[in-house]
Chains A and B, each alone.
Chain A
Amino acid sequence: MEPLLTVKDLSVSFNTTDGTVYAVNNISFDLYPGETLALVGESGCGKSVTTMSLLGLIPKISGNNMSGTAVFNDGVSKKDLLKMSEEGIRKVRGGQIGFVFQDPLNSLNPVMTIGQQIAEPLMEHLKIDKNEAERRTIELLERVHIPDAADRIRIYPHELSGGMRQRVMIAIAISCSPKILIADEPTTALDVTIQAQIVDLIENLSKELNLSVIWITHDLSVVAGLADRVLVMYAGTGIEIAQVDELYDYPSHPYTRGLLGALPNPDMESSKRLISIPGSPPDIYTAPYSCVFASRCKFAFDLCHKELPKLVELGNNHQAACFIAEQLRSEYV
């Protein structure tokens, strides 16, 4: 099967008054049709910048540097999202690629009714008239399980709860039948029971519409049940990628192990200690020249401080960027 999206060596850096911030460094991944890929990492690891660059939301001004390719294959033609013109990317963004962000209150326009906001991309991308757009808007609201959809199109975002707002965002995201849905921490700001509702909704929609989903999160628990593959990021670098079962069963990068160890297991006795990772993530004012995790890694040796480890194939399509990844993986077998 051909991938829908092929990201290769994506790097993004920003020149600031404090120096250059190397936000994303040589990230590569494929996204296949119908697949859910999770990007996991802690704050500041570059997961949001990665997807913003795919959506053309990083302004192309001097000081913002972007390199690499992101080839989107919509079945008709192949195009590089990073090299497209502003006009071109507008046709894709919100059309073939839908997106949902963490904070729906900041993502929705407070002075437009939710009906207007859902109808806007419909009229823009599908070139349909107002009445048809309204009919589809009601359909979409029903699809994301908002009760009394026909009346709700006239209300404003502040009249809705957090969970309902997120449903509106999802309705906008799927309005133009996208091929890819980018969900950037869509449930982080929500309560547990509402989080379960939203996860359930996105999972069902992705099955019904055969969507490929890029799910960004900091929480390895949330994506355990819904991702097909997981890419773990640290300090702007992709450090491990594998099928979901393989990754959770045989984490082969010390950072992934640390992340999993930091989560309490339901059956864990509280007399035990969580495995914490000492220190905090590095600042990213230098381009990585050695392993980005070395300063916090308990396995680190000379080489780790000198050379940048590349992703190595460990079998089973499992790759990790660590000099001793093979050894770490075999310890688990």
Chain B
Amino acid sequence: MSNENNKTLIEVQDLKVHFYLKASGFFNRKRQAVKAVDGVTFDVRENETFGLVGESGCGKSTTGRGILQLIRPTAGSVRFENIELTKLGKEAIRCMRPKMQMIFQDSYDSLNPRHPIGRIISDPLVIHGIARRGSAELKERVSELMNMVCLNPGYVNRFPHEFSGGQRQRIGVARALALNPKFIVCDESISALDVSIQAQIVNLLQELQEQFGLSYLFIAHDLNMVRFISNRVAVMYIGKIMEMADRQTLFKSPLHPYTKSLISAAPTPNPKFERNRQRIILSGEVPSATNPPKGCVFNTRCPIAFERCSQEIPEYREVAPQHFVACHAV
């Protein structure tokens, strides 16, 4: 697939997405902020799959939406082919949308149940003025798209509920592909599917990537799948990136204690290996993003935390070429 020489497609610099809670009380006007994404920096290259992993609530989906400007970031910059997206107005963003699309987790909630799938797949083309509704050209494009994702074009007038979960996810993929995007955010796109169907969708995504030179931001919590599909991977924890590297480095020689424990906690289908492996089992649970720990956000669960960790936020720095870590102990 891709290599290091590929051009940068998306550059995310110190991206912050904060949500503000309602102020409690009349005199207490200071609003509490949920720092869902708090300063993440990475780039996605052309024809690359960039994996983003982390536990629920760590801000990985918000990062994806922040990049697409579905949620306007609080601070930081997102450059798509050197165009600064955060500075663009609503109309200008709309003109950028064809190049960046999204495939959602829940194909049931993300497809309009009242529309036949032909309408769902053709909507982006009509909205962006590429084809008129009802035109022969549009019909042709829809069947082409359906063929691409291995759906029978004869089903064009059926409704989402008539399809299985895997097929519905294919509809979501076809819709995302309609405008020939360069970049697709896959937000837990396979998490809700059965194992055998997951493999079908992953294979489809990889084939399409080769065919059209797509870039993916692949957001997931299944480490084995992320390891398989990604070129580079970033690990998030409470709104911050803990570690980022190419997949071989990240999985073979992780440096951050959180990455290490995540990898050791992810089971593999290998009984002999599983029985003998030493798991690093983290105590406690993910703290809330409303009130994140002082210093390093991971210090409350970290097996090797020392005094400095609870006082000073570790710098996110490049410890080896293309290997970034935020930890005092590294």
Contacts and interface: CB of A to CB of B under 8 A. Distances in A.
Nearest to A263: B269
Contact of A191 (B167, B206, B221, B275): B221
Contacts of A49: none
A296 to B, nearest CB: 8
Interface centre among B195, B200, B230, B273 (most CB of A within 10 A): B195
Contacts, number: 125
Given A192-B221, A193-B261, A280 B197 contact: yes
A194 B285 contact: yes
A248 B270 contact: yes
Interface residues of A, number: 46
A43 B194 contact: yes
A263 B265 contact: no
Contact of B203 (A193, A248, A273): A273
A270 interface: yes
Interface string A273-317: 111111011000000000000000000000000000000000000
A260 interface: yes
Contacts of B272: 245
B267 A222 contact: yes
Interface stretch (A82-90, A113-121, A150-158, A195-203): A195-203
Interface in A165-205: 191-197, 199-200
A225 interface: yes
* Interface residue range, chain B: 35 or more
A268 to B, nearest CB: 6
B203 A224 contact: no
A225 to B, nearest CB: 3
A265 to B, nearest CB: 8
B309 to A, nearest CB: 18
Interface stretch (A52-60, A67-75, A102-110, A213-221): A213-221
A271 interface: yes
B268 A276 contact: no
B164 A280 contact: yes
Interface string B203-246: 10010000000000000010111011111000000000000000
B262 A193 contact: yes
A187 to B, nearest CB: 10
A161 interface: yes
Q: Rank and list the top 6 A-B pairs by shortest CB-CB distance, nearest first.
A: A225-B274, A264-B228, A262-B199, A276-B199, A196-B265, A191-B55
12 contacts: A191-B221, A191-B286, A192-B262, A193-B281, A222-B267, A224-B271, A265-B268, A266-B224, A273-B206, A276-B197, A276-B203, A280-B164
